[in-house]
Amino acid sequence: MAASALYYSDKFVLAKDSFDTTRKAGWIADSLASHPISNIRVLPPRALTEAQALRAHSPAYLATLRTGEPRETATASQLDWDAGVLTMALHVCGGMMDAGIAALKDGVAGTLASGFHHAKRDRGAGFCTLNGLAIAAHALAEQTGGHILILDLDAHCGGGTHSLIQAHPRLWQLDVSVSAFDDYQPGARCLKEFVSDARQYLRTVWRGLQMVEAEWPEFALCLYNAGMDVHGDCKIGGLGGIDELLITLREEMAFQWCKERGIPVAYAMAGGYTGGRMTRKRLVDLHRLTLSAATSKSDGPPVIAVNPESKTGWSSTAELTGSFAEAKECS
Ligand SMILES: [Zn+2]
């Protein structure tokens, strides 16, 4: 069984401002070095060129990231600016792009990069500098000639991504959030759901995926923004009641949904922040859930048994999701 590609470069952690978004890729890479996950091959991505970044961003914004001026725009991401920030952002976005390309070939690939979905054409926001999801979606829609689905399960709304893909007729977004940060009015080709009760979380993700399958076209690729900041112990975004088990089930659902429909999937780490009860180890272990679910779906039989009588082969996972939610409601 071929190992799936996972892109990481020490350029991901080049920025001087030390914060989860600029450091955790390194923490996860270190964790993989000491405790490997089978069937993952860590590879360095190619950096994006500035010309590629212009698919989603303005020349003026790239100049700002290069020079640090005006300072207000250069730090709109809430991260300090330094001379390494543009290089970091181009490598981080390169990780998303190369994961997309590898997924088209191998079915599943990922990147340890994060910090995409709040970045807009002219500025960063919410710890996001350049929007690697939008850039990769535009480039790979052109490369494949097909439709691209962005599945955004980060705690926060993906308003930056929406602003950058809404005009493209083959770019779609399913966005399930638990925090209203970066909220937006969804246009065509976008389903945005908001969850305020943890007991409804998996059900809402599942209903969104069902709607995507029923109403939207076939997809050439899914870009999955697998945020861990939904966890109840994450102070930036978390929703009380969402725990490791719910997130494990979410990751199984996301990857199995793609696999059963033959949709290649490229994943990124997205949100997840240390502080309080969310120690660095817990956060790394949460992100490892995505890697484990992705690799268990890269080949071989599904982890969750499917019902051979079912047309989609998916009903048992739906039942599992439903029974789990009901169990929590009763508890
Ligand atoms: Zn977030």
Instruction: Decide: 182 and 157 in contact? Cβ < 8 Å.
Output: yes
Cα–Cα distance for residue pair 282/35, rounded to 1 Å: 14
For residue 330, pLDDT beyond 60: no
Residue 234 CA, ligand 1 centroid: distance in Å: 10
DSSP string, 8-25: --GGGG--SS-SHHHHHH
Structurally, what CATH architecture does the domain formed by 4-330 represent? 3-Layer(aba) Sandwich (3.40)
CA of residue 156 to ligand 1 center, whole Å: 4
Q: Is the pLDDT score of 304 beyond 80?
A: no
Q: Look at the chain and count its residues.
A: 331
* Distance (Å) from CA 116 to ligand 1 centroid: 10
Distance in Å, CA 106 to ligand 1 centroid: 28
pTM of the predicted model, to two decimals? 0.90
pLDDT tens string 273-297: 999 999 999 999 999 999 999 998 6
Q: How far is the CA of 277 from the centre of ligand 1 (A)?
A: 17
Spatial CB neighbours of 188, under 8 Å, sequence gap ≥ 6: 166
- Which pLDDT belongs to residue 299? 57
- Ligand 1 mean position, distance from CA 218 (Å): 28
274 Cα–ligand 1 center, Å: 13
**What is the predicted pLDDT for the residue at 3?**
92
The pLDDT tens digits of the residues spanning 40-62 come to 999 999 999 999 999 999 999 99
Distance 132 CA to ligand 1 centre (A): 15
Quick one: which H or E segment has residue 254? helix 244-260
CA of 269 to the centre of ligand 1 (A): 10
Query: How distant, in Å, are the alpha carbons of 23, 34, 112, 222, 311 from that of 42?
Result: 17, 13, 10, 20, 36
CA of 130 to the centre of ligand 1 (A): 15
Q: Is residue 11 packed enough to be buried (19+ CB in 10 Å), middle (13-18) or exposed (0-12)?
A: buried
**In the predicted structure, residue 314 carries a pLDDT above the cut 50:** no
Q: Judge contact between 150 and 124, C-beta under 8 A.
A: no
Residue 307 pLDDT class (50, 70, 90 cuts): very low
Which pLDDT score is estimated for 298?
60
Ligand 1 centroid to residue 235 C-alpha, Å: 11
Q: How far is the CA of 331 from the centre of ligand 1 (A)?
A: 28
Ligand 1 centre distance from Cα of residue 67 (Å): 27
Using one digit for the tens of pLDDT, what is the confidence trace for 118-128?
A: 999 999 999 99
Measured in angstroms, how far is the CA atom of residue 194 from the centroid of ligand 1?
A: 13
Helix axes 244-260, 201-215, angle to 10 degrees: 10
In contact, 55 and 135? CB cutoff 8 Å = yes
Q: Where are the alpha helices (DSSP H) in 145-197?
A: 159-165
- DSSP code at position 161: H
Residue 107 pLDDT exceeds 80: yes
**Who surrounds ion ligand 1 at CB < 5 A?**
154-156, 227, 229, 237, 271
189, pLDDT greater than 90? yes
Q: Is 176 helix (H, G, I), strand (E, B) or coil?
A: strand
For residue 325, the model assigns a pLDDT of 46
Please give the Cα distance from 240 to 170 (Å, whole number).
35
Ligand 1: centre distance to CA 289 (Å): 17
State the Cα–Cα distance between residues 318 and 248, nearest whole angstrom.
Answer: 14
Q: How many angstroms is it from 155 CA to the middle of ligand 1?
A: 5
pLDDT reported for residue 71:
95
The whole-number average pLDDT for the span 248-276 is 97
Please identify which residue in the block is written with the tokens 């989603």: 56
Residue range 212-245, pLDDT digits in tens = 999 999 999 999 999 999 999 999 999 999 999 9
Structure tokens at 290: 């995505």
Measured CA to CA in angstroms, residue 245 lies from 90, 174, 215, 251, 325 at distances of 34, 22, 30, 10, 11
Q: How high is the pLDDT of residue 101? A: 98
What tokens appear for 237 in the block? 């975004």
Tell me the sheet residues that pair with 177.
194
State the average pLDDT for the chain: 91
Q: Give the distance, in angstroms, between the CA of residue 12 and the centroid of all CA atoms in the same chain.
A: 16
Q: Is the pLDDT of residue 319 over 60?
A: no
The per-residue pLDDT for range 59-95, each reduced to its tens digit, is: 999 999 999 999 999 999 999 899 999 999 999 999 9
